[in-house]
Homo-oligomer: A and B are copies of this chain.
């Protein structure tokens, strides 16, 4: 069976309540990510006719702030289908006070794998066959899928790296939690959205404790999930400040999951948050300059600078696919 891309579009709405927002009334990046992952998962479930798990996501650049009282509409569609994995394009629009003109908040891609009851991959029952108008979108998605193949083949090796991240960092926090059934999807795997929400909250705390101002999520780097986190297991999260720009700080987040009965620990994911220091009006303010104080901090600062350049490059790539996303999201595919 075949489907066009535009035929897979789903739409989910969310309302920004006071408890979704920070001290200055701005929607937490973590809440928005949780909404986007749940909306994209719905799209994946409908397309694949069954349960899906989040395997990877591309960068999320948060372009416009969202505030209490706004409505968020998340559109999602399948851009590319492989054997059992699919790439879902996803855009979040904010409608100020519900009645205002929609503003694009962020647009990105998420990769989901269709799984059976045991969590093993299952073949997709439908393939994407783009229409003429969708061909450019499809071919870009196909190229991304090829790039990701390498990354996915490293999955097992990556999952074994359970070393501590930046043990010599001065600005770090860790926290451990049990994964409850309410954190998990139907298949018993921790929802990727809940995990990102937890990490975002912690990354914000690291940035705030460094900058001593309010900090908001500016971006989250592309991330792959090396190992599924099951309900009933433990997650250990480590957050480390790696470096600081003019008004933003990068915070690395590493996630280790532990099976309590076997004691086996696996590296589930590592990602990088860009947190922006803001004043009470939400305007960026300078961060205190960061001077590395040991070899580890120097190394992480160098790596952070490389990632920042890569991130700028990917932000430019977004300008290529953004109009194509807009076309699909607005039903002009």
User: A281 in the interface, Cβ–Cβ < 8 Å?
Assistant: no
On chain B, the residues within 8 Å of A3 by CB distance are none
For residue A178, CB closer than 8 A to chain B, the reply is yes
Q: Given A18-B18, A186-B181, is A11 in contact with B45 using a C-beta cutoff of 8 Å?
A: no
The 0/1 profile, CB within 8 Å of B marked 1, for residues 1-39 of chain A is 000000000111101011100010000000000000011
Complex: chain B residue closest to A183, CB-CB: B182
Indicate whether A130 reaches chain B with its CB closer than 8 angstroms: no
Q: B261–A50 contact, CB under 8 A? A: yes
Q: Is A123 an interface residue (CB 8 A)?
A: no
Q: Majority SS of interface residues in chain A?
A: mixed
A178's nearest neighbour on chain B, judged by CB, is B42
Q: Which residues of B contact A12 (CB under 8 A)?
A: 175-177
The answer on a CB contact under 8 Å between B71 and A205 is yes
Structural contact, B201 and A23, CB atoms closer than 8 A: no
Q: A156-182 interface mask toward B, CB cutoff 8 Å, 1 = contact, 0 = none?
A: 000000000000000001111110111
Instruction: Check A209 for interface membership: any CB of B closer than 8 A.
Output: yes
Question: Which residues in B have their C-beta under 8 angstroms from that of A262?
Answer: 49
B202–A38 CB distance below 8 A: no
User: With A15-B205, A69-B23 known to touch, is A263 a contact of B49 (CB < 8 Å)?
Assistant: yes
> A234 contacts the other chain (Cβ, under 8 Å)?
yes
Name which residue of chain B comes closest to A71, CB basis: B205
* Chain B residue at minimum C-beta to C-beta distance from A233: B45
Complex Cα–Cα for A55 and B231 (A): 23
**B208 and A98: CB pair below 8 A?**
yes
B99 touches A176 (CB 8 A): no
Distance in Å: Cβ of A38 to nearest Cβ of chain B: 7
How distant is A134 from chain B, measured CB to nearest CB, in Å?
A: 21
Contact, CB under 8 Å: B205 / A11: no
Instruction: Count this chain's copies in the assembly.
Output: 3
Chain B residues near A176 (CB-CB < 8 A): 10-12, 39, 42
From B45, B98, B181, B263, give the contact of A178 (CB < 8 A). B45
Contacts of A234 on B, CB cut-off 8 Å?
42, 45-46
- Is A260 at the interface (CB under 8 A from chain B)? yes
Does A212 sit at the interface, judged by CB under 8 A?
A: yes
The residue in chain B whose Cβ has the minimal distance to the Cβ of A38 is B178
For the complex formed, measure the closest distance between the CB of A326 and the CB atoms of chain B, giving whole angstroms: 19
A205 to B134, CA, bound (A): 32
- Alpha-carbon distance A98/B185, docked complex (angstroms): 31
Task: List B contacts of A178 (CB < 8 A).
Answer: 38, 41-42, 45
| A232 interface contact, C-beta 8 A | yes
Q: List 21 A-B contacts (CB under 8 A).
A: A11-B176, A12-B177, A13-B202, A17-B19, A19-B19, A38-B177, A38-B178, A39-B176, A42-B177, A45-B178, A45-B260, A46-B258, A48-B260, A49-B260, A49-B261, A50-B261, A98-B209, A180-B182, A180-B186, A181-B186, A186-B232
A-B residue pairs, 8 tightest by C-beta: A13-B175, A19-B19, A182-B182, A186-B232, A98-B208, A42-B178, A45-B260, A49-B261
Instruction: A42-B177, A180-B182 are known; give 8 further A-B pairs, CB within 8 A.
Output: A12-B176, A15-B205, A41-B178, A42-B176, A45-B178, A49-B260, A95-B209, A99-B212
